[in-house]
Structure 1
Amino acid sequence: PVVLSAISAASSTTVEIATDIALKRMLNFNAPPLKNTAAEPVWKVLIYDRFGQDIISPLLSVKELRDMGITLHLLLHSDRDPIPDVPAIYFVMPTEENIDRICQDLRNQLYESYYLNFISAISRSKLEDIASAALAANAVTQVTKVFDQYLNFITLEDDMFILCHQNKELISYHAINRADIQDTDMEAIMDTIVDSLFCFFVTLGAVPIIRCPRGNAAEMVAVKLDKKLRENLRDARNSLFTGDSMTAGQFSFQRPLFVLVDRNVDMATPLHHTWTYQALIHDVLDFHLNRVVMEEGMGAEPSAGARPKKKSRKTYDLTAADKFWQKHKGSPFPEVAESVQEELDTYRAQEDEVKRLKSIMGLEGEDEGAISMLSDNTAKLTSAVSSLPELLEKKRLIDLHTNVATAVLDHIKSRKLDVYFEFEEKLMSKSTLDKSLLDIISDPDAGTPEDKMRLFLIYYITAQQAPSESDLEQYKKALLDAVCDLSPLNYIKQWKAFTKMAATPANYGNSGVKPMGLFSRVMNTGSQFVMEGVKNLVLKQHNLPVTRILDNLMEMKSHPETDDYRYFDPKMLRGSESSIPRNKNPFQESKQGKKIVYGCSELFNASQFIKQLSQLGQK
């Protein structure tokens, strides 16, 4: 898949803010939400498909939806009862089956009025289908508004977006790189990617300058995106980048630089074992769309004949509102464990206060009249009412991070992930190795077969020269003895033979890690986290291929790696797209204040990537 990086100079908005504004506007019947108004919101129902659900859920909580008057949110294809006196806001992809279901809703007269919002632009023929159904159902006046929202991408953070979560296998690395792909399939994949990127820039309200390498999928996407943007700009009256259409125009005083890169420029990083909190959660737990799903209460084996007990699944949302998460998601794991422990100790000191507040509020006894009897004690009650929710929320977040960090630590210890991380960092930064690769592969206690395969692939990808045939056979034997599937290696061998990188392996800079000696406070006996045997590694700055490419292009530096990159400016006349105007820099002169936003066609972890490499290697 294409790894995308958009750089915009310091602009007053982020992707998250722009998407948030667009969604809230849509949920307010496509009118700007009124600020500081005491008026009750209009009650309404929200009907979405899985695509719409994935776009909304990382950004708006159930409470926020309720505050905007959404009393009920339902999937389009679920069984829904009529609610004839309430307006319905639909947020769906304009697919054949979705349109059929909307027409069925009109026939069944489910709601008072219909506000139809399509995630991607709806075609004229499908719009006519809805019009015919509304006419037949005598519901023309009830279809109040039909909007194209151009929100066909998922914003995960203020500097991170992905193109889709549903059907992501259709635009995956495997889909693009399989040997038997037809031209028509490739066209369809590129169109899907371009549609999402077009939506991204419409929402941002900015026309990008596009840069990409030649001769791969990234170039195909760039050419198509440039064409789509040009076509939209040509029709000035209906252009999505002028006037008050959505958020367009609000933020367009600066042009973003949009760098499109193919995944193949850096195959080692997605396989790399990680050491920071967010990256570890993504690597070892079930983490997608900002939500961690963990199985709890494995329990004893059920007795013969008894029905097996269902494992309870616990979900945790890691959101921007969680200050601990915002502060520590990029921190090395040992630091996180220490901070969780400190938070826990602080909370324990406040626990007596919570008990006192609960008793003031009568929350301990069963007597419901307890609070009303406290009318003479209003001052105490007022302070309890304001402090208790805050303390209970703090406790919820501490419990969340204690559970998540403990689960991560179990993986680190059982798989020796600190050993893998340290060794891979040395491989990638060409540092001297303190032990041999074969030792780790052959150690039955070090990691899963997949961990060993990841390590070997990183060695193979980053090696200045490929191992000799006899060495390779020795490694293969050790991998097979460790029950590794060799299919990913088959594919990486082909890939390395085909790419130019075979001659010049991607340079990963002189990064690396340094051990910091034993843990301090975390090692004390009262700690939740028993970190014995786990190395306290501290990160050093990486200089990965994508970072370098970006730096070269942002600063207009001449460099063999990027000198050949194509240049597209959809606002300029044709014929100038390939030569870079050297005299003027379309970005701010100073480096400070640049904001970098990352996006990708799919956000896989190493395990999912290995599966795709394995499928490609079996062909």
Structure 2
Amino acid sequence: MNVILAIKQYISKMIEESGPGMKVLLMDKETTSIVSMVYAQSEILQKEVYLFERIDSGGRETMKHLKCICFLRPTKENVDMLAQELRMSKYGLYYIYFSNVISKQDVKTLAEADDQEVVREVQEFFGDYIAVNPHLFTLNIQGCYKGIDWSPAALKRTTQGLTSVLLSLKKCPMIRYQNSSEMAHKLAEHVRQTITKDAGLFEFRRTDVPPILLILDRRDDAVTPMLNQWTYQAMVHELLGINNNRVNLSNVPGISKELQEVVLSAEHDEFYANNMYMNFGEIGNNIKELMDEFQKKSQSQAKVESIADMKAFIENYPQFKKMSGTVSKHVTLVGELSRLVGKNSLLEVSETEQELVCKGDHSASLQKIKTLLHDNKVTQIDKLRLVMLYALRYETHSNNDVSGLVDTLRKQGISDKHRALVSAVLEYGGRKARGSDLFGSTDPVAFTKRFLKGLKGVENVYTQHKPLLHSVIDQLTKGKLREAAYPYLGTGQLKDRPQDIIVFIIGGTTFEEALCVHQLNKATPGVRIVLGGTAIHNFKSFIEEVQTSVQPVAMGRVDAMRR
């Protein structure tokens, strides 16, 4: 189960089916992102695709010598624009692929518009999601909650995206869902209805053990998206933000023009692929090794004395240039992460966060938080983060001092709108909203594990936390996940341990959870797990999700707080 490979195979097939000759790839905003996540432009150019166009862009030239491969989401707007395109065709032939199921009526609309008989192919290729890592996908939906229910548009899009993942991976699963979440139940029902309605599409070769689709709700673990991160991919997203593999570095002091936006793709960057799950300390050493290797190669390249040397240099130049770009990109990224860690006292902040959520020493945690709230190096967003975590962790503690900490935030100049997030996160993911015992306060086994962990110490004080997802998947793979808490939809039940598991988190997942799935895949031979969510959160995007769920009108954005 590899979502990147699944999308790549669809795109390759589209290009192959159009045959030899020069081609244009016509996409919409969303399919442009879907394609760019798995293919570099240079790779597609090698397949005779010389032009990339958006269907919603005006003023495109007529080029009848080109074949047109259309890859579009099957929305009403796209069908209308495509019908208009066919009436006044700009290209010689059209090969049309929709990223999901298209209605017969829409196909009829397109057929009626094809007066010039330029359409050679209309097919459904189920690449209706963003593939981020081989085992991680997102639908890029921000704000799926409307109070404690679905936003109708988000429910429709999520159902489409999730069924497309199942079709692209060729899985017809048994469905389990988080019983404490009405939204999880509703999504499970919608997915099952789609599978029933389009039963012919889901007729795959039966396996001995059916795959499992497990639907969870972010509200059950509001802690994970609020923690600072220390592995490369997660850390870049937390401190700088990753948007469809792109990182905006334009605000970095002294940044050169060519590095103002960089692409982080494990498919096209070997260093990133090897280091995305490494912790920050290891990356520093690996960057130094990369630099040393580059310097050796650049010195050897300098000795151009004969025709043979020149020929060797020219042959190696593309690889040399690529390595130069890789080195400068990662040195810049790691340098900026280091600068932010030092400037904003992130080691102290993160250690306090980890102790807060992994241990139970209320008075020590409270004292550390109070100290950090008065530290001028700590950013406003990190001060808010600490108080929100404290409010969740000690929600029912008899001596909790949430009101005192919120008042300190007020004195630190944090606005009413942002202070309101402390109570908002309790409404969103507090004890009443959760189905799980997130902090193990009533579970003696969880308490003992945490106590022993505290005695032994951990390898890294900054990465003690394990997401709730880890224990849920661990129990599922061992056949021990409680059916009362995570029931099956319908009457069927799995007798054996599952082998193929697709986990979907309503309200968004995180790169920390993606790391956890990566580790579980490595540690459990014979089990394959893919993780997806409506979005991939860092703290900033998560609290925007909390805002829209608790109050339909968002309480103000948080961009200004990372100063």
Report the TM-score range of the alignment, normalised by the length of the smaller protein.
Answer: 0.7 to 0.9
Tell me the SS of whatever aligns to 1:87: strand
Is 1:259 paired with 2:210? no
Q: In 2, Cα distance between the equivalents of 1:148 and 1:404?
A: 39
The residue type paired with residue 390 of structure 2 is Y
> TM-score scaled to structure 2, two decimals?
0.83
Which residue in the other structure is 1:593 paired with? 526
The answer as to whether partners of 1:296 and 1:312 remain within 8 angstroms in 2 is: no
Structure 1 residue corresponding to 2:36, chosen from 25, 33, 57: 57
The residue type paired with residue 281 of structure 1 is V
The 3 A distance-change label for structure 1 pair 616 and 199 is: closer
Q: CA deviation at 1:186?
A: 4.1
The residue type paired with residue 157 of structure 1 is N
Which residue in the other structure is 1:190 paired with? 155
The answer as to whether partners of 1:106 and 1:133 remain within 8 angstroms in 2 is: yes
The answer as to whether partners of 1:296 and 1:314 remain within 8 angstroms in 2 is: no
Which residue in the other structure is 2:145 paired with? 176
Is 1:347 paired with 2:294? yes
Q: CA deviation at 1:22?
A: 1.4
Larger Cα Rg: Structure 1 or Structure 2?
1
Which residue in the other structure is 1:35 paired with? none
The residue type paired with residue 471 of structure 2 is R
Tell me the SS of whatever aligns to 1:129: helix
The answer as to whether partners of 2:98 and 2:123 remain within 8 angstroms in 1 is: yes
Q: In 2, Cα distance between the equivalents of 1:158 and 1:210?
A: 22
The 3 A distance-change label for structure 1 pair 497 and 154 is: closer
Q: In 2, Cα distance between the equivalents of 1:264 and 1:289?
A: 24
Structure 2 residue corresponding to 1:216, chosen from 182, 187, 207: 182
Q: In 2, Cα distance between the equivalents of 1:15 and 1:452?
A: 37
Q: In 1, Cα distance between the equivalents of 2:303 and 2:461?
A: 42
Structure 1 residue corresponding to 2:485, chosen from 547, 558, 564: 564
The residue type paired with residue 288 of structure 1 is N
1:9-62: CA deviations, max 9, x gaps?
xxxx4222222111210122278xxxxxxxxx4221100011110100010111
The 3 A distance-change label for structure 1 pair 113 and 253 is: farther
1:185-228: CA deviations, max 9, x gaps?
64443222111111111110111222112242111111221222
Q: In 2, Cα distance between the equivalents of 1:514 and 1:386?
A: 52
Q: In 2, Cα distance between the equivalents of 1:616 and 1:598?
A: 23
The 3 A distance-change label for structure 1 pair 497 and 18 is: closer
Q: CA deviation at 1:286?
A: 3.2
Structure 2 residue corresponding to 1:547, chosen from 470, 473, 487: 470
1:138-153 matches, within 5 Å, as 138-140=115-117, 142-153=118-129
Which residue in the other structure is 2:411 paired with? 481
The answer as to whether partners of 2:352 and 2:368 remain within 8 angstroms in 1 is: no
The 3 A distance-change label for structure 1 pair 203 and 61 is: same
The answer as to whether partners of 2:18 and 2:69 remain within 8 angstroms in 1 is: no
Q: In 2, Cα distance between the equivalents of 1:417 and 1:297?
A: 18
Structure 2 residue corresponding to 1:274, chosen from 211, 221, 229: 229
Q: In 2, Cα distance between the equivalents of 1:88 and 1:595?
A: 37
Structure 1 residue corresponding to 2:329, chosen from 392, 397, 400: 400
The 3 A distance-change label for structure 1 pair 586 and 341 is: closer
Structure 2 residue corresponding to 1:205, chosen from 153, 161, 170: 170
The residue type paired with residue 201 of structure 2 is L
Which residue in the other structure is 2:509 paired with? none
The answer as to whether partners of 1:298 and 1:311 remain within 8 angstroms in 2 is: no
Is 1:492 paired with 2:420? no
1:257-292: CA deviations, max 9, x gaps?
221100011001101111111111001113111121
1:66-112: CA deviations, max 9, x gaps?
11110101111112100012110111122232222222222223111
The answer as to whether partners of 1:84 and 1:111 remain within 8 angstroms in 2 is: yes
1:314-358: CA deviations, max 9, x gaps?
33333323221112111111221222123213322332212225x
Is 1:154 paired with 2:85? no
Q: In 1, Cα distance between the equivalents of 2:50 and 2:94?
A: 16
The 3 A distance-change label for structure 1 pair 131 and 499 is: same
Q: In 2, Cα distance between the equivalents of 1:274 and 1:402?
A: 19
Q: In 1, Cα distance between the equivalents of 2:369 and 2:251?
A: 36
The answer as to whether partners of 2:354 and 2:464 remain within 8 angstroms in 1 is: no
1:9-158 matches, within 5 Å, as 13-29=1-17, 41-78=20-57, 79-134=59-114, 138-140=115-117, 142-158=118-134
The answer as to whether partners of 1:488 and 1:614 remain within 8 angstroms in 2 is: yes
Q: CA deviation at 1:549?
A: 1.0
Q: In 1, Cα distance between the equivalents of 2:320 and 2:259?
A: 27
The 3 A distance-change label for structure 1 pair 502 and 486 is: farther
> TM-score scaled to structure 1, two decimals?
0.76
Q: In 1, Cα distance between the equivalents of 2:275 and 2:216?
A: 29
The 3 A distance-change label for structure 1 pair 455 and 296 is: closer
1:411-439: CA deviations, max 9, x gaps?
11111111111111111111654752111
Q: CA deviation at 1:492?
A: 2.1
Q: In 2, Cα distance between the equivalents of 1:123 and 1:386?
A: 52
Q: In 1, Cα distance between the equivalents of 2:193 and 2:391?
A: 39
Deviates further, 70-79 or 313-322:
313-322
The answer as to whether partners of 2:145 and 2:549 remain within 8 angstroms in 1 is: no
Q: In 1, Cα distance between the equivalents of 2:75 and 2:353?
A: 45
Q: CA deviation at 1:476?
A: 1.3
Q: CA deviation at 1:381?
A: 4.8
Tell me the SS of whatever aligns to 2:44: helix
The 3 A distance-change label for structure 1 pair 482 and 541 is: closer
Q: In 1, Cα distance between the equivalents of 2:408 and 2:196?
A: 55
Tell me the SS of whatever aligns to 1:58: helix
The 3 A distance-change label for structure 1 pair 555 and 45 is: same
The 3 A distance-change label for structure 1 pair 449 and 206 is: same
Tell me the SS of whatever aligns to 1:287: coil
Which residue in the other structure is 1:3 paired with? none
More helix by share: 2
Which residue in the other structure is 2:491 paired with? 576
Structure 1 residue corresponding to 2:196, chosen from 230, 233, 255: 230
Q: In 2, Cα distance between the equivalents of 1:445 and 1:267?
A: 26
The residue type paired with residue 159 of structure 1 is H
Q: In 1, Cα distance between the equivalents of 2:154 and 2:109?
A: 26
The 3 A distance-change label for structure 1 pair 176 and 501 is: closer
The 3 A distance-change label for structure 1 pair 296 and 487 is: closer
The 3 A distance-change label for structure 1 pair 279 and 299 is: closer
The residue type paired with residue 485 of structure 2 is D
Q: CA deviation at 1:541?
A: 5.8
Q: Which runs of 5+ in 2 are unaligned?
A: 441-445, 501-522, 554-563
Structure 1 residue corresponding to 2:371, chosen from 439, 442, 453: 439
Which residue in the other structure is 1:457 paired with? 388
Q: In 2, Cα distance between the equivalents of 1:599 and 1:397?
A: 28
Is 1:327 paired with 2:274? yes
The 3 A distance-change label for structure 1 pair 349 and 558 is: closer
Q: CA deviation at 1:253?
A: 7.1
The residue type paired with residue 223 of structure 1 is E
The 3 A distance-change label for structure 1 pair 255 and 542 is: farther
Q: CA RMSD in A?
A: 3.1
Tell me the SS of whatever aligns to 1:295: coil
Tell me the SS of whatever aligns to 2:485: coil
Q: Identity of counterpart residues, as a percentage?
A: 21
Tell me the SS of whatever aligns to 1:80: coil
